[in-house]
Structure 1
């Protein structure tokens, strides 16, 4: 049986490599956000840039389709189906993906778009491939995330004006650190996209599985990138994991010590004059009382849900056409509901919300099953993802290669390859941490 299974397993590794490195290669072409314009700045891709971006996405799609097709034909043969875990999670993901499709097909706005098939196809291929030893998958994820981390930090030297969210002339920008640099975006189009991904990269580095040289340096680089984002979403994600979940240490003493030292460090930061000045500006800002304007996005999304409780507005909610209808201009800062719950309710109605609840529940269950074997990484990553869903909508706009797709790919692979049952049939005892 190992004969026909091995090529597919290798195909799964290849798919992960192409997805991760392809995301990094395409990232510099993606327009970045800047103050003074509510949407991503820059002209649409054209020429060689468009050809390269579409070529990478097509390569991922073709490889994923080939792996899905081969796995289906192998499964039809007697005794050819490899052992898999996470079937409940896979069906929950199908239910979640069905929400936008049904909303687009039967709702009042929007039609089915070919890009909607990209994420289901990618994650189906990663699921259908045979499981590999968790240390092997973790090593691959570490290399991919290190490339993203160091590529982002390199952009500071190569293109600092592009790498930071700089305030427009006459406008104040967020500057908690007092450096005058603005918010760090790196290879991501938005600081709030980079923050959770850098928190995930930090978690992957500090997980005590495998022995790789330079882990402290790479962890420090991820922490530096996370800090420079000045993204409250990213910071809250990291704080939720390290101070609530406790994935950094397995003993009560280590958790207590880290809590004490972390609290002391936080007090020292709050005593810094630039931080106090930034907090004072926030307190005086009328948007601060509305969660930096997010309450407006929440209300608008909920209004669409009330208009069509079953299907919502459709996947094109807060698209340029919808923003023009709401605000009279397409250049408005609201491009999403800034909450995955409100995004699902407003865009897909009760059908989308039911799929979201099922997916989150399955993520938690699968994370708990894999927690011991992954040294807490699975539960830490799911905690991070759930926290990110409170102020952002990371499960939307997955029609191509992006920071959100890479983050979900990391979570998906850790959950699928990190369960004891998944590795017991293929992993030698010496590989188990």
Structure 2
């Protein structure tokens, strides 16, 4: 029996498949994005298009086949596990946040849809550098095609992809672009991830690379998600530091280029002096006090009402401290009972795991996050900074969303899996790099 070579599997197809399924569901939903809040008031389950049943079953089969093939191929080739720590931490996190509340939560519920994330996640933990390159290209192309499809649909069905009555943006009257995603915030997050991947995996054709940057930045701006804007700026600065920091430091420490180091330090001094002048002379604290009294500041302090949802999540954990409420928390019936139709989850990764899976799930989240951060830091050089950028994007989004949720598969799982594959590939790459020999006194 012929063995398959590494990097020839089907795992890279799961990213376009999940993105296509989410886009198809939005396209067939016939929604009006400007009336999304009123649609959430409906307590009953919405009717799905018959085509979605066929499409979802097909994608589910593809996910299982691609994952099983990846796992079987890994053992058939007797390849070393890129990071046993990552694999163990992921399985532990799935067991504590999915299996445990499904079996032992206050409202237990067992379903086959909870198994897909386990198989796909384990397969992602076994990805090598060659497979990672194909995965990045596949995810990059799918994300930009998703944005392009939303833009092309806009002239024909504007209400489907834009909130034309949005009035809280920087430019009054500018519609908010949600594209073929569930929400403009989701579109902003996916645009951010697409740009980060494009940065590290650029197109070879220059015109295509420039067009992709224009499309991605335009969609990121029109999504009008301030969280996505701030996150992209932070991730971009981190990528610049990782990819250009060593070269910058070498230039600053080179005695032959002393003028460059003096110029950089002078710029820092001017920046700090300018900030101090604004604080002391420009009455920065007085302006901040005036801003705190505005309606926008009140929404910011409450994170647009998310503080109420957080209180409910904590109360559910107090009633079920060990195994939590269960995976059905914040379903349509629960949202109707608490009169918060927009509360599809706890809007915070830690509180969501705490309420759904209790102290066991929250503890597993802390361990899993620590492992992800450690591996992202160690794999920063091997991944060109993408490991740290993706981790930072997920960490920032975890403040108000649930990007690490493993209940099912969808657009949120795309970023999570990209992070896992990047960490696995970086760990595998580090295994092949020659380790520096230890220096001993008197021996070179």
Fold-level similarity (TM above 0.5): yes
**Which residue of structure 1 lines up, in the alignment, with residue 168 of structure 2?**
174
**Which residue of structure 1 lines up, in the alignment, with residue 90 of structure 2?**
93
What secondary structure is seen at the aligned counterpart in 1 of 2:379?
helix
Give the distance between the partners of 1:27 and 1:164, measured in 2 at CA. 12
1:184 to 174, 177, 190: 177
> Aligned pair 1:132/2:130, yes or no?
yes
**Which residue of structure 2 lines up, in the alignment, with residue 408 of structure 1?**
416
| Alpha-carbon displacement from aligned partner over 1:343-400 (angstroms, at most 9, x marks no partner) | 1111111111111111211111221222112211111111011000011112236423
Give the distance between the partners of 1:317 and 1:94, measured in 2 at CA. 22
Give the distance between the partners of 1:190 and 1:282, measured in 2 at CA. 26
> Aligned pair 1:83/2:92, yes or no?
no
TM-score of the pair, normalised by structure 2:
0.77
CA contact (8 A) 1:83 1:131 kept: no
- Name the CA shift for 1:45/1:315 in 2 (closer, same or farther; >3 Å): same
Residue 290 of structure 1 deviates from its aligned partner by 1.6
What secondary structure is seen at the aligned counterpart in 2 of 1:104?
helix
What secondary structure is seen at the aligned counterpart in 1 of 2:364?
helix
**Which residue of structure 1 lines up, in the alignment, with residue 62 of structure 2?**
60
- Name the CA shift for 1:339/1:246 in 2 (closer, same or farther; >3 Å): farther
CA contact (8 A) 1:15 1:63 kept: no
1:44 to 43, 46, 50: 46
- Name the CA shift for 1:135/1:319 in 2 (closer, same or farther; >3 Å): closer
Structure 2 counterparts to residues 102-141 of structure 1, below 5 A: 102-128=100-126, 131-132=129-130, 134-141=132-139
**Which residue of structure 2 lines up, in the alignment, with residue 428 of structure 1?**
none
Residue 409 of structure 1 deviates from its aligned partner by 2.6
**Which residue of structure 2 lines up, in the alignment, with residue 341 of structure 1?**
350
What secondary structure is seen at the aligned counterpart in 2 of 1:37?
helix
Structure 2 portions without partners, runs of 5+ = 249-259, 275-290, 434-444
Give the distance between the partners of 2:325 and 2:194, measured in 1 at CA. 35
> Aligned pair 1:292/2:300, yes or no?
no
CA contact (8 A) 1:134 1:417 kept: yes
**Which residue of structure 2 lines up, in the alignment, with residue 215 of structure 1?**
209
CA contact (8 A) 2:314 2:351 kept: yes
> Aligned pair 1:229/2:223, yes or no?
yes
What secondary structure is seen at the aligned counterpart in 1 of 2:368?
helix
Give the distance between the partners of 2:170 and 2:413, measured in 1 at CA. 28
Give the distance between the partners of 2:363 and 2:110, measured in 1 at CA. 20
2:189 to 190, 196, 199: 196
**Which residue of structure 1 lines up, in the alignment, with residue 438 of structure 2?**
none
Give the distance between the partners of 1:139 and 1:284, measured in 2 at CA. 40
**Which residue of structure 1 lines up, in the alignment, with residue 331 of structure 2?**
319
CA contact (8 A) 2:11 2:135 kept: no
Give the distance between the partners of 1:14 and 1:50, measured in 2 at CA. 19
| Alpha-carbon displacement from aligned partner over 1:267-302 (angstroms, at most 9, x marks no partner) | xxxxxxxxxxxx999626854442210111111101
| Alignment: residue pair count | 395
Q: Which has the larger radius of gyration?
A: 2
Give the distance between the partners of 2:85 and 2:398, measured in 1 at CA. 21
Deviates more, 1:354-363 or 1:58-67: 58-67
Give the distance between the partners of 1:32 and 1:371, measured in 2 at CA. 42
**Which residue of structure 1 lines up, in the alignment, with residue 288 of structure 2?**
none
CA contact (8 A) 1:208 1:375 kept: no
- Name the CA shift for 1:204/1:81 in 2 (closer, same or farther; >3 Å): same
Deviates more, 1:189-198 or 1:29-38: 29-38
2:235 to 220, 237, 241: 241
Residue 424 of structure 1 deviates from its aligned partner by 4.1
Give the distance between the partners of 2:64 and 2:160, measured in 1 at CA. 32
**Which residue of structure 1 lines up, in the alignment, with residue 199 of structure 2?**
206
Deviates more, 1:403-412 or 1:21-30: 21-30
Residue 16 of structure 1 deviates from its aligned partner by 4.7
| Alpha-carbon displacement from aligned partner over 1:109-133 (angstroms, at most 9, x marks no partner) | 1312221112112222333455526
Residue 255 of structure 1 deviates from its aligned partner by 10
CA contact (8 A) 2:373 2:391 kept: yes
Structure 2 counterparts to residues 354-365 of structure 1, below 5 A: 354-365=363-374
Give the distance between the partners of 2:235 and 2:382, measured in 1 at CA. 18
Give the distance between the partners of 1:211 and 1:195, measured in 2 at CA. 25
Give the distance between the partners of 1:366 and 1:178, measured in 2 at CA. 43
| Alpha-carbon displacement from aligned partner over 1:143-165 (angstroms, at most 9, x marks no partner) | 22221222232232332111013
Give the distance between the partners of 2:396 and 2:264, measured in 1 at CA. 20
Q: CA RMSD in A?
A: 3.6
CA contact (8 A) 1:247 1:377 kept: no
**Which residue of structure 1 lines up, in the alignment, with residue 11 of structure 2?**
12
Deviates more, 1:333-342 or 1:37-46: 37-46
